[in-house]
Amino acid sequence: MKAIFVLVVAFSLISCGIFLPIKVDKAQDIVVELTPERLERGAYLVEHVSGCADCHSQRDWSIFMAPTKAGTNGAGGEVFNEEMGTPGTIYAPNITPAALSSWTDGEVIRAIVSGVSKDGTPLFPIMPYPNYARMSQEDIFSIVAYIRTLEPIPNDVPPRKLNFPLNFIVRTIPSQAEFGSLPYKTDAIAYGKYMTNAAGCTDCHTPMEKGKPVSGMEFAGGFTMGMVSGGAVNSANITPHKTGIKSWSREGFIQRFKALDNPAARAIPLAENQINTPMPWTYYASMEAEDLGAIYDYLRSIPAIENPVIRYPELKE
Ligand code: HEC
Ligand code: HEC
């Protein structure tokens, strides 16, 4: 009886991946040349699109929409915990040169697109590396080139704690990246899909169960996230269903973001009893209107999913 129990436990650990090697090759021996074009494209993606400078900086949760605090760009330290829907406690690491100067470009690229840290630790996909793996190699090179130029900020971040069984399963998540390609802007839906993927919208807008997105609910919202400043918020349905963005015009969608592209929008103190939002509105607000429009076009092309969501249930909208 006991032997069977031991066998069952051993088998489940094996199937959870405890003994499995991580399916990602050694970091490639690449040197990313810093060209002005790459630095410009990298700045745009890191600071306004792909969330890097949002997650890897400290956000001010006392301000509505939690813009990032000056002087923390790339220094890490934001926490993701169970209240926020994360199966454990994970801190965003420091990605300024103060932390990454000893990493080769190949190692940085492997972390961003395959989810393996310099020392071989499998990263938890709070960072949407499966998304970044579908970006073009040139865009990833631009991101790496740009983060090499961030101001070095020394900041040590506590180690992560993942709950069982994710602490084992995490080993099965990293995978060898196959880069995609950047579609022409004239191919509106494909280009919009690329930008939506690069911006990680699905990350918060698809509900998760046991650390995995619920299939068939892509972009349908209803992912509940607890806020460090109190209360909880549900992500919105952004599919073209009437419980989603069916009634939104393209211009209205673009304006919802662009109206926040100014210093005043980044300085609205959170009122007493007001619940904050994790959606980095002010970060995305500086995305080019053309790219926001392309995201809208793509979102209008995906299956409409019925899922009525009350964003702030405690406030009874
Ligand atoms: C949603 C939040 C989020 C976004 C967006 C994000 N990251 Fe991360 N990143 C993290 C977290 C959290 C970790 C650590 C995961 C872990 O320890 O399991 C991480 C890990 C890393 C690492 C490995 C660092 C180390 O010490 O192991 C690098 C490099 C990195 N991110 C760079 C980037 C870049 C570049 C981008 C944008 C293309 C980006 N990240 C976007 C949250 C994020
Ligand atoms: C970090 C999590 C997160 C990310 C990333 C995120 N969102 Fe959201 N989003 C939310 C939450 C939570 C809400 C509901 C609260 C609010 O309105 O801010 C929301 C609300 C929305 C709304 C509805 C706003 C309204 O007025 O009804 C739209 C539209 C939207 N998001 C689009 C997007 C798009 C497009 C992206 C990618 C460019 C994106 N979101 C990325 C969390 C996120």
What is the phi-psi region of residue 7: left when phi exceeds 0, alpha when psi lies from -120 to 50, beta otherwise? alpha
- Is the pLDDT at 15 greater than 70, yes or no? no
Q: Is the pLDDT of residue 194 over 60?
A: yes
Give me the mean pLDDT over the 249-267 stretch: 98
What are the two backbone dihedrals, phi and then psi, of residue 49, each rounded to the nearest 5 degrees? -120, -60
- Pick the more confident residue, 308 or 166: 308
Tokens 């992560």 -> residue:
160
Output the pLDDT for position 315.
Answer: 76
Q: Is pLDDT of 226 > 70?
A: yes
pLDDT of residue 176: 93
Looking at ligand 2, which atom is closest to the CA of residue 49?
38
Which ligand 1 atom is at minimum distance from the Cα of 144? 35
Start-to-end CA distance of the chain, whole Å, equals 56
Nearest residue (CA) to ligand 2, atom 20: 236
Cα-based distances in Å from 121 to 167, 198, 217? 11, 24, 30
Measured from the Cα of 124, ligand 1's closest atom is 18
Which whole-number Å values give the CA distances from 127 to 4, 112, 124, 141, 296, in the listed order?
39, 8, 7, 18, 23
Residue identifier of the C-alpha nearest atom 11 of ligand 1: 92
Q: Is 200 in the pocket of ligand 1 (CB under 6 A)?
A: yes
- Total Cβ atoms within 10 A of residue 62: 11
Token pair, residue 57, equals 């900086």
**Average pLDDT, rounded, for the chain:** 93
Distance from the alpha carbon of residue 56 to the mean position of ligand 1, in angstroms:
7
| d(CA 201, ligand 1 centre) in Å | 16
Above pLDDT 70, what percent of the chain?
92
Q: Check pocket membership of 95 for ligand 1, CB cut-off 6 A.
A: yes
Find, among 126, 98, 105, the residue nearest to 38 by Cα.
105
**Nearest listed ligand to the Cα of residue 315:** 2
pLDDT at 258 (0 to 100): 98
Q: Is the pLDDT of residue 17 over 80?
A: no
Peptide bond into 152 cis (omega under 30): no
Please tell me the distance from the alpha carbon of residue 310 to that of residue 81, in angstroms, as a whole number: 22
pLDDT for the residue numbered 149: 98
Exposed (0-12), middle (13-18) or buried (19+): which is 209, by Cβ within 10 Å?
exposed
What is each CA distance from 9 to 1, 18, 64, 173, 270, in whole angstroms?
Answer: 12, 12, 47, 21, 49
Q: Give the pLDDT confidence of 43-96 residue by residue, as tens digits.
A: 999 999 999 999 999 999 999 999 999 999 999 999 999 888 888 999 999 999
CA of 292 from ligand 2 middle (Å) equals 13
- Residue 84: the pLDDT is 82
